[in-house]
Chain A
Amino acid sequence: MGVEFVVCNLRTEQSPTGIILNYAQRTNQSPYPLLGITRLTDSGVSNKVQVPYKESGGAYKTVWVPMGQQGWTVDIQCSLMLTDDSMGASGDSNPIYSWLMVDSGMLLEVKSNQFTRGNNGQMGHLPTHPAISKLPPNSYWYVDKILINSREGYMNVADMQLTLVRFWG
């Protein structure tokens, strides 16, 4: 189970009628594909309005009115591993380096949610491979939080926790 992202720039333009249009534009930058996904969960916190009131008996209570959601969020846990070839590399062929360069607030587009490593060791999009339905192709996601931990005593292996929030572009 794997996913490949491409980094996008957010372009903002104003239409002749004054409407502000946001759209994402792909860059040439693709962080190293995530192949070692161990857990993928979606979560969200409701945006709410709290209305306090006092009961006739004197007790203080609050009415809680949900209004929208704080993001459409997906948490991804995965491992990143360096091979002998990628150890000294400082580009996107080095999975840890590649994701260390990803900052929160960056916009990512799902290029493939059926990404895998084939029997010949080559990585690529495989249409027959099970898709990650929570990350549909061409959907846009903001990086909310990124946490990369090296494993104690092994600085060539890292565990990553990535929180993505949906961008409705």
Chain B
Amino acid sequence: MITANGILFHHYRIETSKTGQAITSASADLLELPIFLIKSISVSKQAVKTYIPLDATKSIYLPSAMIGPVVKLLCEVEADKQSQLDDETYTLEQYQTGNITVNGLYSNDILVIVQFGFPTWNAILSEGSQWWVDTVDYTSKPGTKRRGKLFYEIELTIYRRDL
């Protein structure tokens, strides 16, 4: 069981290799990420459309597709045990040099939601849904310590893959 605002992702990556002239792509299973504790969620959808002018003030609007849903998550993730030993000296450098287990998360990776039980918001972030990683931002804020555990902030923009 994870807490209500915790989200658990399974991490995949499309890896392309070339053997002779043949190019093959395969999905590499990079296992589960640590639990992300969500601080805020932003969901956006934008229409792709064409306008046909009618007169000086009116036009016909023809929606043809949708960009999104794009979800921005501001999350906290727990530092791994090794970095928790060195109290009070956590820096971004440590974060980026291997003390946090989400270091291997890059744009264009695929995340599949394994568990997210928060009512209402799980309508969009439903279990089993697949998402492309658009951006990953490791903020420069120092970590915060709660109940003896160190957490760092991470901002993630993902967009739906399996619609």
Interface residues of A (CB under 8 A from B): 47, 66-72, 82, 87-88, 90, 94, 96-97, 100-101, 103-105, 142-153, 155-156, 165-168
Contacts and interface: CB of A to CB of B under 8 A. Distances in A.
25 contacts: A68-B52, A68-B53, A68-B55, A68-B56, A68-B59, A69-B59, A71-B51, A87-B119, A90-B119, A94-B120, A100-B123, A104-B45, A104-B67, A104-B68, A142-B47, A142-B61, A146-B43, A149-B41, A149-B43, A150-B40, A150-B41, A150-B42, A155-B121, A156-B120, A168-B58
Most buried by B among A105, A152, A166: A105
Contact of A69 (B58, B65, B120): B58
Shortest 5 CB-CB contacts between residues of A and residues of B = A68-B53, A105-B63, A104-B47, A147-B44, A104-B45
Interface string B15-58: 00000000000000000000000111111111101011111111
A71 B51 CA distance: 7
A97 B118 CA distance: 12
Contacts of B124: 100
B44 to A, nearest CB: 4
Interface in B49-86: 49, 51-61, 63-68, 74
B101 interface: no
Contacts of A153: 39-40
Contact of B39 (A68, A105, A152): A152
A105 B53 contact: no
Contacts of A166: 58, 61
Interface of B: 5, 38-47, 49, 51-61, 63-68, 74, 118-121, 123-124
B47 A143 contact: yes
Contact of A168 (B38, B54, B121): B54
A168 B51 CA distance: 12
A150 to B, nearest CB: 5
Most buried by A among B58, B60, B61, B65: B61
Contact of A145 (B45, B119, B121): B45
Contacts of B43: 100, 146-149
B144 to A, nearest CB: 13
Given A104-B47, A105-B47, A47 B59 contact: yes
A47 B55 CA distance: 10
B59 A144 contact: no
A110 B111 CA distance: 38
A29 B158 CA distance: 29
Contacts of B60: 168
B63 A67 contact: no
A151 B63 CA distance: 30
A96 B120 contact: yes
Given A71-B51, A87-B120, A90-B123, A105 B44 contact: no
